[in-house]
A and B are shown apart, each in its own frame.
Chain A
């Protein structure tokens, strides 16, 4: 009898465990975040994918509109558009400059700021200020610095590039990449600082006992110890970089010169919002998401391999 009741109870419990996991109370804790993700991430992403396969445009509630399934037409439009292809090429240039520069500068500066140096708090704040300052304000300063008759060209004199930085097809995107690196650096320094503070002191002591100098310690202790943080920095820098919009919109006057600094997100704004073709914009967005996922996976494999 008791064996029977145990077996009877085990059935529903197993079903509950199968459905909700071994700790059902955990579900209560994760539910708000899952709902948040569903509302602000899964739903728009799903909607974007759906839009990219339909002839879709935004319409007033109650308006009778036809939104037929168009298969891969929007993707064909996007992939045969030279402006879109150029924007993806531009973002690759951006990431090639921005991501390694971010990792190297953030790690080196974080290591320096982690050491007992004078004015450490001031420097930590100084690096963080650009990150928390509105892009519009910071862009204004960079326009003053990098315009044809700006401060940088005045200092460079005859060495100033012609055409100038922001209207030079070869220099516009690298200039934006350097701007974004500088602006975001404070945040990534913060991530590395947190990682550096978790490195056990014993590792430094062992390295010192083995006769390692500061450079050797940095390379053999710090770099491997902060590898998880590096993975995070690379992935976050890639994602934020791929979503580049404000800088080409404001710094180079809408992706100029001649589309040399246009980003996929800027084109999504132009096509989707300005021109009323959200279906085409969604196709660009889906391709961008796929690209970012692939790059992030490759990065993770490369960084985390032993």
Chain B
């Protein structure tokens, strides 16, 4: 066997040296104070939701018409497996835009750890602006260091959406169906499936992605606990009696075949496969025309009154990214895009609820014109966010795995599995 010429053997060694050099290196940072005042053109990313793009384009047009020297270039978030993955990669590459109008609160701790976000408190009047606009709800979006790295922008408070036609077929009341308690909810679900009005009562995705719990366990957990987050004071909360009651309710749904264990390849509610869905106000625009729908708050074990029920906000926020050099302009754009006028336009175009104080009073004309949205608007005042803690995504994945194993597939007892997961989650939340 011939030996490789020595020059070639140097290649891997050189690669390793380059590796170590690149890995240990680090670029110099810009002057944050100077950047905070700098003005000029900026780039922003919008979500690829059709309605949000329409709003974003109009907002950019309005800004650019009045600021020829500080123009905004807007693009949709580049395609990827998820927006968070793309944003994370852009932070690492140093080419993130100034503002992203689709920043998931669950991803903020990770982006912050990466050094990818600008604390809004460091900008002129930043903290006061966030708190004045959003009120006490803003507190949930504060990072553990006490600063805001995101402006609470819009929420999609989740509720139970139901198909009146399917309910009628199952012999259920279509105007005020009994869905308030777990017993009510289970009884209605059994009627739907047994009458074959639909093959499933409700069809939350039973898959393992970390975010799926936001649309099955978490809204009911928030309602049952009067607004507790999954983690509070660096301690997991879901292994509490309330958490176990919620898990028990869902376990019954899966065990009795009222909620399927297999993911539906499409839109189960839209296709009439399920009678109910856990959704936000966006659903009105999506299903409004083709389904005769009704809406109810998520159930609680005791059937709390609707006006006392809290739910998951499913919010998307705006954050300023550290690659931004013209932060002065970016801050002005951020205030412009979240002004009362622009929030009203966002509500008009998307039906999503701006995260500002008392939106029904802020936009009375809109809600008198579109009363369907009033229920969601009332619910928007009672929303709870994902906890802003370190290892946020890992925590949600840990919880999802435990939930999958014990609740969806029933492989292990719920209490034991939740207890073990809670220990892991508490340890993760305590890390810096």
Contact = CB atoms under 8 A, between A and B. Distances in A.
B68 interface: no
A60 B19 contact: no
A50 B261 contact: no
Interface string B72-103: 00000000011011001101111010000000
Given A20-B7, A38-B11, A253 B209 contact: yes
Contacts of B114: 57-60, 63, 276
A161 to B, nearest CB: 12
Looking at chain A, what size class is its interface with the partner chain?
A: 35 or more
Nearest to B84: A274
A298 B107 CA distance: 43
B15 A27 contact: no
B394 A164 contact: no
Interface stretch (A41-49, A180-188, A220-228, A233-241): A41-49
B397 A275 contact: yes
A165 B408 CA distance: 16
B91 A62 contact: no
A144 B265 contact: yes
A147 interface: yes
A50 B23 CA distance: 8
A140 interface: yes
Looking at chain B, what size class is its interface with the partner chain?
A: 35 or more
Contacts of B19: 43, 46-47, 50
Nearest to A256: B208
A302 B113 CA distance: 49
A140 B265 contact: yes
A61 B15 contact: no
B413 interface: no
Contacts of B116: 59-60, 63
Contacts of B391: 275
A133 to B, nearest CB: 17
A83 interface: yes
A20 B5 contact: yes
Given A27-B7, A254-B209, A61 B397 contact: no
B11 A46 contact: no
Interface stretch (B26-34, B120-128, B144-152, B220-228): B26-34
Contacts of A256: 206-208, 263, 404
Contact of A59 (B28, B96, B115, B408): B115
Interface in A218-262: 253-259, 262
A45 B13 CA distance: 12
A255 B115 contact: no
B361 interface: no
Interface of A: 18-21, 27, 30, 34, 37-38, 42-43, 45-47, 50-51, 54, 56-65, 67, 83, 140, 143-144, 147-149, 163-164, 166-167, 169, 253-259, 262, 269-270, 273-277
Given A58-B91, A60-B114, A163-B261, 6 more contacts: A34-B8, A42-B12, A42-B16, A164-B262, A255-B208, A258-B405
10 contacts: A38-B15, A42-B15, A43-B19, A46-B18, A59-B92, A60-B116, A63-B26, A64-B26, A262-B208, A277-B394
